[in-house]
Structures are given as structure tokens and as C-alpha cells.
A and B are shown apart, each in its own frame.
Chain A
């Protein structure tokens, strides 16, 4: 007997008490928990996101679409960044104000290559206000998972309000499980030594999050809509 058949037979024997006719859906699951914790205006939701991101030691910046390129340029300069990884679908104007050398995210880029890069700039799939989380799903404006992992400095741009949700249940509704996801809540951290929190173990030690208010020009708005193509219909 194969191990698969063996384990399956054990399971069926173990579940002798479950009526054969019982369907999984007949085991009641009451979903009376809240879809979100509190009613907020979009502006309040963005404020809560900023507050919770900062609480977990992400550096939060707020700007509008027009001022975004200058802000990104300033953040890279402040870090003395010499190179920046660029996801294939990053809106071109985001890096239009910086002179830092661009390293395109391609399949040929090895982990060692990435280790030599200073920074990375990405968009995101969705951000969760209640938990201070940004979710990446490897869409073209975010690139492969490794580019936000190996470099020590990550700048993540979030479109406000379109990319921000209140809660974990609302975020899952928007996400496509077939895409690899990385949920990020503050920079890498450990409390393994006497429960002293230390930021920055293996992931980027600095996470900067830029909340960009769509300052009305519809063209800028469209940028954010393309960066979340998996919104549940």
C-alpha cells in the first residue's frame, strides 16, 4: 500500500464517528466576526495606516503624485544609495528625478548581485490600515519577491485611498492566491535575545513607506489602478 493510501485509510478509520452523509459545509462556521473594526472615512483609514506603520518602525512619508519623484530622489540621496533595483512595471516618472543608477529586475539577477544593490523602489498590491501592513503580490510594479528582500533599503509607494483597506478580511478579498505574496509589517525584526526587539535581521533594515494621495489628475490615478489588477470583482 502506498503511504498516501495508508494515511487516507487511517484518516477514514479515525473519522468513523462522522456520518458518511455529512457534507463539509454542514459543519457550522459562524462568521459573525467584524469585516472591519470601526467605521472610518478614507482619510481616517489612511491616518490609521500611517500610525500603525510608524508604530512598527516603518518610516512614513506623505505626499501627492506630483511631488513623488522628488521625494523618492531625496530618500535615495539621504541613504547615499548608489544603485536602485527597478521592477519592470514601475511607473517611469517615479524615478524621473534621481540620478542613482538603475538596476532592472531581470531573471539573470543573482542573489549576490542583489546583495550589492543599495535600494529598491516598488508599488504594492494593497495596504491594511488596522495592522500597518503592505502586501506585495509580485505584480509588474513590485517585481520578484527577492528584490524587496536582499537590498537593505526598501521604498514602498502606496496609492491613497485606492490601495488602502481597513482590515485583513478586506485585503484578502482583493488578493489573488495564485500570485506569490509578501505581507510586510515594519522592517525585519527579532525579539529572540531576552525579548529585546532588534530591527533588521535578514530583510531590509529600513522600510520607507510613501503614502501618495492621488491629487486628482486622472492620469496619475490610473497608475495605481494598474498596480492592482487583481481586485475582486
Chain B
């Protein structure tokens, strides 16, 4: 993957994509504001949501042990995966043990993050995505571009063409003469997927929440594909990040209010499923929970970055972000796009690659993401913190061990400038003569920076240097002007 600016350069020139994104983000943004305004106590719910998540994260070991006991007692089996490869291996082996070659999947960020579908395919197992948007993405051999509406970059005509061309290869073909009306497209998906659901023996899901106290898992969704995958197969495998745990069942009262309104701008999403282990004669006979680390403990080790683990994947921050609106989700190069992706991905994967080191810069720091975040993640604070780590390097946790990050390449000029500035600011005389020199030569200043600075000044005006520095002005004027009334302490 190219660094963010390069990828964004491509997507910002795609006018169709920009129009789709603008329409989508503005529509959801406005609806969300209405749904949130319905609750007088939104601010208090938000604070409680953040506090519950903080409590959980500060005692994550305690809650995970409690969760494991509760899930096991309810008939489930708990597996631990330190990284993506291990999680993929566990799921692959579990599917193999059933003797099946196909699984149905509910949309899940965690399985996208670890590339599960690809790993299963290599083992000869076909994973069918069942969320409508994920189906569009999968049939189109494409990548998701939004957390909530992954195919937001596709319009109806493109979706019709994908269905017509590709459905037959995966199962039941699209009906003849399929139109591009959303209702017809949804019906085609219903028919195509129903065959899969009714025959499915293995389901794979993520989860929005796991309750430590009771071992209950929660999945919120709209279409019913989640219910199908969670209840019809004999075996259910859920891959869930360790940060998704909440202490008590009653804590759900906060998140089941925050999540739907922040995400789809609904009072409540059409379907929420909860299950605790297995139930006789109702739903899967075998339930496996795969608890996933994959960099989460690295984020946990960072006392500033830790708050990113509060995220409940509502995607409200994407919809208000001026950068996301123009660049689109693909430019972020991970399952997590937008502002939350810009702070989560570099923490989960580290900042070694060019792309991951560029993500903390994919922001104008306008702060809109913090304003809408239902669990009050101070995204700008974490962005600045990560920028510092990219430029300066320093201690960090990498795959669970303490390491010292080297300063990133390519920031040499920035570092040199900062060092020079810091030296000059520590030496008043140097600063003064520098400022005087700049003032005297102001007529000769270029409008654009030369060399490596050129790109920066392509879209920015260089500030004009004043004829006189503030210090010189002060020196010159304080002795000649009459002090104002009440300001006589300055009188010589």
C-alpha cells in the first residue's frame, strides 16, 4: 500500500467517488444529529460509556478471565490468539474439524483486520459474506471503504453489473433482467443468500460486546443476515478483539443507546442478537470464541493511545471528517478507515511501514471526530501523540515487548527545523538577529518554498514577514507612547 497522501491523491481525483462519499457522509451526519438530539442525557451517556470502557481497559486481565469462565460455564469454548496468523489458524482448524468446506459470515471488522477470508480460501474453505454491502464488495473483488456502509463507493448501476456478472460464480445467479432499483437488488441478494443460509453448517461472526459477568455476546445489525449466521448453523465461531468486553449485562444499557444513534442514526437498529454459550435445541450446538490480541495490547501499553480501544465501531467520526469525505476509505489501507483508523491502525500495526507512519497525518486536526465520538475518544490528542512518535521515535510496545522506535525516515527536514527552532528559541540573541535579518530581506522572499518544501507551498501561502519583529516594536514604542490609564506600573 502507498502512503496515505499518494493513495488519497488517486481517490480525490475520482469525482464519482467523491460525490458518493459526500452524499453518504452528509446524509448520515444530519440524521445522526437528530437522533442524538432526542436524548437529553446524551452527554452523560457518553461520559458513562467512556468510563465503563476505561474501567474495563484498566482491568482487562480481570474481565477477560471472568468472561472466559462465564462463556465456558455456558457451554462455549474459548481460544486465545496472540496475532492474526494464530487467529486464522484456529478458525481454519475449527472449520476443518466440522468437515465443512463453506462458512457463512456476518460482517465483522476483526475478521477483516486479520484477513480471515483469504486465510480460509488458502485452506480450501469458502467464506460467504452475507451483509449486503460486504456481498457487493466480495462479488466485486473489492475492498470495503466505510465501517458501516462498506460499499458506499459503489452506485446502484455498478452494483447491478456486479450482481449480474458475478453471482452465478458464487451460487444462485442474479434474476434475468435485474434492474438497478435498490429494492430489486436487495431481493436478488435475499434469494442468492437464502440458499446459503438454509444449508449453512458453520457460521463465523464478530461481536459488538462481550459481557464479562455473564459470558453474553452481542451482535447488532439491520438486515437479518446476522441472525441467520448466529442461529441456523450447527457451529458458530466468533472472532472478537479483547477490548470488546464490558463488565456487566446492565452496562449494555449505555452502549445500546449510544451505538445505534451514533452509527445508523436510529433509535434502535432493526436486530440485536444476544447469546450466552449454547442453548439446547435453539441455535448452534457448538460455540467457539476466539479472543484476539493482534496489537491491542500494544495500544493498551500506551497511556495516551489506550483510549482508542474504547471504540465501539460506530463510524460517526468517518461521517464528519473532511479528510475522509474527500479521500475515501481505501486510502487508509486497513480495515479501519477515517479518523479512528488513523489512530488505531498505527497502534495495532506499529508505525514502521510508510503507510502506517503517514496515517497520523491524515487529519486536519479540526476536532469534529472527538465531538461526535460516543465514547469521547480524543482523536486529535492521539494523532498528535502518534505524530510525535513517528518523528521522534521513542519507547513503545511492539508485539507485546518493550522496544525503542527509531525516528521515521523522511522526517529529517522536519526534525532539523524543529531542532533549529528549539535552539533559536533558547538563545534570545540569536532569535533577535535572525528575525531582523528576515525583516530586512523580506522583499526577496519567494512566494513558494524551494526544494523539498515546494509541495507544501503548492496549496499554501507563505506568511509574510513583518517589517519589524514584535520585540523590536515593543522596544521602540514602549518608551515613546504615553502609558494608558491604570497602566502606570510601566512608567519609567
Contacts and interface: CB of A to CB of B under 8 A. Distances in A.
Interface stretch (A25-33, A70-78, A89-97, A223-231): A25-33
A202 interface: yes
Interface string B25-59: 00110000000001111001101100110110011
Contacts of B400: 6, 9-10, 13
B274 A6 contact: no
B279 A169 contact: no
Contacts of B371: none
Contacts of B94: none
B254 A33 contact: yes
Interface string A14-33: 11111000101001111111
Contact of A11 (B60, B213, B247, B257): B60
Contacts of A162: none
A149 B58 contact: no
A196 interface: yes
Given A24-B63, A132-B267, A178 B273 contact: no
Nearest to A171: B253
B264 interface: yes
A200 B187 CA distance: 8
Given A172-B252, A202-B190, A107 B61 contact: no
B324 interface: no
B155 interface: yes
Interface string B438-467: 000000000000000000000000000000
A188 B222 contact: yes
Nearest to B151: A192
A233 B110 CA distance: 38
Given A3-B82, A11-B300, A145-B231, A29 B55 contact: yes
A56 B270 contact: yes
Most chain B beta carbons < 10 A, residue from A8, A16, A115, A138: A8
Contact of B281 (A107, A191, A195): A107
Contact of B222 (A4, A8, A28, A190): A190
A120 interface: no
A189 B223 contact: yes
A201 B281 contact: no
A30 B48 contact: yes
A130 interface: yes
B271 A183 contact: yes
A195 B74 CA distance: 39
B180 to A, nearest CB: 9
A201 to B, nearest CB: 4
A28 B131 contact: no
A57 B71 CA distance: 36
B324 to A, nearest CB: 16
A201 B193 CA distance: 10
Interface in B372-425: 397, 400, 402
B121 interface: no
Contacts of B189: 201
A182 B275 CA distance: 9
Interface string B340-356: 00000000000000000
A22 B55 CA distance: 11
B51 A202 contact: no
A175 B150 CA distance: 33
Chain A interface size, as a band, is 35 or more
Nearest to A24: B59
B143 interface: no
B3 interface: no
Interface in B169-213: 182-183, 185-186, 189-190, 193-194, 197-198, 211, 213
Interface string B119-133: 000000000001111
A184 B229 CA distance: 16
B274 A177 contact: yes
B329 to A, nearest CB: 14
Given A3-B86, A33-B48, A189-B222, A182 B27 contact: no
B44 A177 contact: no
Contact of A182 (B38, B272, B276): B272
A198 B183 contact: yes
B276 to A, nearest CB: 5
A52 B268 CA distance: 10
Contact of B224 (A175, A180, A202): A202
B80 A3 contact: yes
Contacts of B65: 8
Interface in B256-278: 256-257, 260, 264, 266-276
A68 interface: no
B487 interface: no
Interface in A157-209: 168-169, 172-173, 175, 177-196, 198, 200-204
Given A30-B47, A37-B39, A178-B214, A190 B273 contact: no
B232 interface: yes
A15 B298 CA distance: 10
Given A168-B256, A180-B283, A201 B132 contact: yes
Contacts of A117: none
Interface string B10-28: 0000000000100110011
Nearest to B87: A3
Most chain B beta carbons < 10 A, residue from A8, A133, A183, A191: A191
A52 B267 contact: yes
23 contacts: A3-B81, A6-B400, A8-B65, A10-B297, A10-B400, A11-B60, A18-B58, A27-B59, A32-B41, A32-B44, A56-B267, A111-B197, A131-B268, A145-B282, A168-B268, A172-B253, A178-B276, A179-B276, A182-B272, A190-B223, A192-B133, A193-B182, A198-B182
Interface of A: 2-4, 6-18, 22, 24, 27-34, 37, 52, 56, 107, 111-112, 115, 128, 130-133, 138, 144-146, 149-150, 168-169, 172-173, 175, 177-196, 198, 200-204
Given A173-B250, A183-B271, 8 more contacts: A27-B55, A27-B59, A130-B267, A177-B211, A181-B273, A189-B270, A193-B151, A204-B224
